[in-house]
Structure 1
Amino acid sequence: MTALTQFQRLEATGVWRPHPSERLRDVIVSFGDATLILRDPRSEEPLSHWSLPAVTRLNPGQMPAIFAPGDAEQDEVVEIDDTLMVQAIERVHSAIAASRPRPGRLRGALVWTMVGAAVIAGAVWLPDTVIAHAARIAPPAQRTAVGLSILADMRQATGAPCDRASGAAVLDRLSARLLGPDGRIVVLPATMRGARPLPGRIVVIGDDMIAGEPGPQVAAGHVLAADLAAAQSDPLLEVLQKAGLPAAVSMLTSGELKARAVAGQGTALLLRPAPRPADDVLLDRMREAGVPSAPYARSLDPSGETVLALIEADPFRAADPPEPLMSEGEWVQLQQICAR
């Protein structure tokens, strides 16, 4: 059944009560072979199997949705608050019901009416919901893989990332300082006028942020700004929205996003202006990271007129940060990262 196959990887949390005399317990709800499976979230052990054709919703139109395994005995129930899972259960239930043989002259009309309704409903809510769900449940390794695909698309326009060994070692330490152990800064031999966030906590800057600058403060400011922008607007969601529903479904079912699905997105990202988060949020992040805001502000507007708040509220305007981003020798090494 196509409707069932489409949602076989879909999972959601729920609250299950096997009997009115027993306590509610957390479960994972997923699709099986024409069944709804309730599993223990810790052991993954199946706790109950419900026949999808017999599943009944006890509170239509209300959330969280309450389902029972049949019409007769409704002692066993599960509450689900995940909109996509609720809609998927009802859609699959309807599709299975529509596929049953129906006596009488109206059978064909009823079947096609249901199919038409499912198609219309799918066209309205399914694309955006599935794309958002695919972005939300993607594990870190999958996010990083997509980020590297975008980076590979970028390098077609800029050339390979800069990786001279001495500079790369300094860049790794700067990445850990600004982004933490799961973040990564990549330098491309290009003029980017800022940083671009990619899925997987990858932040890309051009060597214009390094070459000719007196210190690492400008590059650090742009990296923090890009990482904050990524926290506010998920880069993976943007990638999937541009790639479309088939790509999102493919990622849900196969765990991969094909290179052709992101073709051109990296180049397009290079042409977009660098993201700029709200000044107050950025200033807090810079204060925590020990990065002055004035150099970053001056790189945006040398006159200072449009970035006056960032200059005047520089957390290190009166005194240097307690710990420098790197030594002068390390900065010289980083400036040579694109040298061949």
Structure 2
Amino acid sequence: VVLAAAMWLPGAITRYTASLVPEGARAEIGTRLRDEVRRLTGAPCADASGLRALEKLQTRLFPSGGTRLVVLPSALAETAHIPDGTILIGHRLVEDHESPEVLAGYLLAEDMRRRATDPLKRILADAGLGSALRLLTTGRLDDEGLRRHAERLVASRPQPLPAKRLIAAFEAAGVPGSAYAYAIDFSGERTKPLIDASQSGAPSAPLLGDGDWIALQRICES
């Protein structure tokens, strides 16, 4: 019984603490976490033309607002998200692919992950029980806990998602999933349902014009 309680208690405290943190405090934690990530990756890519193209893609994929896309110049391999609505993008996702549909796929998948799990719970799980208790009692998350989570966030790769949910997300956004599917698995064997769904759907309008996509691919060059 004691062992079971010891295993259950940290998770329960983490969930309880996360449920009590107001939006203002979440935004503050997100800002501080972004600063910790910047320490690991360098400043976000900021070429002016690239930023304009990124904003167009952001509006196209997330028209209701509340999402900010940020491209990072190093360290992050794919995508990640933080509590203030920011989705972080590894620079290779914009530099190494021929079309924006691959990037869009990664972004839609990351949006699904952030909707499925409260990012603050992940922060507290990585930060540890002590950090969760300090946040609960003082209203502030300690720097060491944030630093620990930032390091894990940058180093980890996103968890795979069920094909049915991915297909629904791509269809809702009007984005073909085949480019993303082949980026995930070059053979297409593991992502065949997503490829098949893309082939059976109606043709979609381009996500970005050629000039905008070229500008976005150069966002880290300034």
**TM-score, normalised to structure 1's length?**
0.58
Deviations 1:123-149 (A, max 9, x none): 676543332122123233322332333
Superposition deviation, residue 265 in structure 1: 2.1
State whether structure 2 residue 179 is matched by structure 1 residue 300: no
% identity of equivalent residues: 33
1:264 match: 148
The structure number with the bigger radius of gyration is: 1
The structure that is strand-richer by fraction is 1
Deviations 1:112-168 (A, max 9, x none): xxxxxxxx9x96765433321221232333223323333323333321111222211
Matches within 5 A, 1:103-114: none
1:75 match: none
Superposition deviation, residue 222 in structure 1: 0.4
Q: Pick from 72, 79, 87: which aligns with 1:195?
A: 79
Superposition deviation, residue 187 in structure 1: 0.6
Whether the 8 Å CA contact 2:75–2:154 is kept in 1: the answer is no
1:38 match: none
Deviations 1:237-296 (A, max 9, x none): 011022123322332344332222211322222222222221111111111111111111
1:134 match: 17
Q: Pick from 143, 148, 173: which aligns with 2:26?
A: 143
The structure that is helix-richer by fraction is 2
Whether the 8 Å CA contact 2:75–2:155 is kept in 1: the answer is no
Superposition deviation, residue 228 in structure 1: 0.6
Q: Provide the secondary structure at the position in 2 that maps to 1:185.
A: strand
2:111 match: 227
Q: Provide the secondary structure at the position in 2 that maps to 1:264.
A: helix
Q: Pick from 212, 217, 221: which aligns with 1:335?
A: 217
1:238/1:292 CA distance change after superposition, 3 Å: same
Task: Output the amino acid matched with 2:11.
Answer: D
Q: Pick from 19, 41, 44: which aligns with 1:158?
A: 41
1:290 match: 174
Distance of 1:169 and 1:284 partners within structure 2 = 28
Whether the 8 Å CA contact 1:190–1:207 is kept in 2: the answer is yes
Distance of 2:200 and 2:154 partners within structure 1 = 32
Distance of 2:77 and 2:147 partners within structure 1 = 23
Whether the 8 Å CA contact 2:108–2:170 is kept in 1: the answer is yes
| Unaligned 5+ runs, structure 2 | none
Deviations 1:20-75 (A, max 9, x none): xxxxxxxxxxxxxxxxxxxxxxxxxxxxxxxxxxxxxxxxxxxxxxxxxxxxxxxx
Return the structure number with greater relative CO, CA threshold 8 A, min gap 6: 2
1:251 match: 135
Q: Provide the secondary structure at the position in 2 that maps to 1:262.
A: helix
| Unaligned 5+ runs, structure 1 | 1-119
**TM-score, normalised to structure 2's length?**
0.86
Distance of 1:205 and 1:279 partners within structure 2 = 22
Task: Output the amino acid matched with 1:334.
Answer: L
RMSD: 2.6
Q: Provide the secondary structure at the position in 1 that maps to 2:140.
A: coil
Distance of 1:196 and 1:146 partners within structure 2 = 15
Q: Which moved more, 1:277-286 or 1:262-271?
A: 262-271
Q: Pick from 279, 283, 298: which aligns with 2:163?
A: 279
Distance of 1:320 and 1:279 partners within structure 2 = 20
